[in-house]
Amino acid sequence: MTRAEFESLVERALKTLPRRFRQKMKNIAVVVDGWADAETLEEMEIEPPDTLYGLYRGVDLTHRDSSYGNVLPDTITIYQGPIEEDCADEAEMADLICDVVIHEVGHYFGLDDDTMAEFERSEDD
């Protein structure tokens, strides 16, 4: 899949977010990269064969106060390589991208991994 086609799937995933959340997303860039580099994987304590599909970097909304300003945008990076490698087809990629985007946006709104995992488990019930 080309980078442009993959970015289109990411854009589509962002558009599935409820409007009330999209409107609150300020000073954030969503970018696509090939693979997380070794330094990022080490920082996130991820060892092969595990990998990283997405990463949020920044100051989440729960930690912003009146002094927050004049800063570079937060970033959500979606990693194309591992998503393509782990998916059988475009439909599966689209589903995984949507899950990753929602997860990383959750971090932007201040949710941690444990909270999101608990929510995901409650949806399965």
The domain limits of the chain are: 3-124
C-alpha torsion sign, points 109, 21, 78, 27: negative
Considering only residues 117 and 77, tell me which one the structure prediction assigns the higher pLDDT.
Answer: 77
* Whether pLDDT at 3 is above 70: yes
The 10s digit of each residue's pLDDT in 59-105 is: 998 888 888 888 899 999 999 999 999 999 999 999 999 999 999 99
Q: Tell the residue number behind the tokens 């929510």, with chain if given.
A: 119
Name the percent of the chain lying above pLDDT 70. Answer: 94
In whole angstroms, what is the distance from residue 43 CA to residue 110 CA? Answer: 20
Model confidence pTM above 0.85: yes
What are the tokens at 94? 């689209």
| Residues 63 and 110 sit within 8 Å (Cβ to Cβ) | yes
3-124 — its CATH code? 3.30.2010.20
CA atoms within 13 A on the CB side of 78: 28
In whole angstroms, what is the distance from residue 49 CA to residue 89 CA? Answer: 21
Cα maximum dimension of the chain: 46
